[in-house]
Structure 1
Amino acid sequence: MESTEMTVGDLIDRLSACDHSAPVRHAMNPFFAMAHRLEQVVQVADETGQAVVYLAEGWSEDTQLGHLPHEVAVQLAWQAPVQAPPRRPRRTAGGK
């Protein structure tokens, strides 16, 4: 059975088409989509002895950048291309 995991070579190929001066971010959790700065690349052997590379965020307080931009979530197919309409202000207890 052929692996469907992205390899380091696949990642290099995809990144080579990008602007080399652009910062690298990590999009996480499609149900509560957040953006994170990448700070570390670690290679280890898994339980079968195969090399695995992990991309990780750092420890600093500003590692999590906030909500993932809507355009990114759409391209990842994590959100629909149409956003919900803005909410109207709530009425106060006097009907005003």
Structure 2
Amino acid sequence: MTSPEMTVGGLIDLLSACDRSAPVRQAMNPFFPMAHRLDQVVESVDETGRKVVYLAEGRDKDAQLGHLPPEVAVALTWQGPVQAPPCRPRRRAVGN
């Protein structure tokens, strides 16, 4: 049986390509994208008895870091790329 969920092994594979000294952040809420500091990793079991690993944000008041950078929200497909509106000719004041 294949699972649509990411596994610890899959996460390790993805992380192995990253800079080991980079801080780990969690992107949350696609409708109001925010970045959070991770603080804990907790292993438990779900209602079916399967092992599950939870990544949790910190409890301190600055665990939520603010808005997710737009390029991250676009890469996650939570937002579309934003383009500047096309240039239009400037309007002139009447009488000039």
- SS, match of residue 13 in structure 2: helix
1:44 is aligned to 2:44: yes
1:83 positional shift: 5.1
Query: How many angstroms apart in 2 are the aligned matches of 1:76 and 1:45?
Result: 28
Query: How many angstroms apart in 2 are the aligned matches of 1:83 and 1:53?
Result: 39
Q: Which runs of 4+ in 1 moved over 2 A?
A: none
Query: How many angstroms apart in 1 are the aligned matches of 2:54 and 2:84?
Result: 35
Deviations 1:29-59 (A, max 9, x none): 0000000000000000111111000000010
Corresponding residue for residue 91 of structure 1: none
Q: Structure 2 length normalisation: TM-score? A: 0.84
Corresponding residue for residue 10 of structure 2: 10
Corresponding residue for residue 34 of structure 2: 34
* Structure 1: gaps (5+ residues): 86-96
- Please tell me the root mean square deviation across aligned C-alpha atoms, in Å: 1.3
Query: How many angstroms apart in 2 are the aligned matches of 1:8 and 1:84?
Result: 40
Query: How many angstroms apart in 2 are the aligned matches of 1:31 and 1:12?
Result: 27
What is the number of equivalent residue pairs in this alignment?
85
Q: Structure 1 length normalisation: TM-score? A: 0.84
Computing the radius of gyration from Cα coordinates, the structure with the larger value is 2
* Structure 2: gaps (5+ residues): 86-96
Query: How many angstroms apart in 2 are the aligned matches of 1:70 and 1:63?
Result: 19
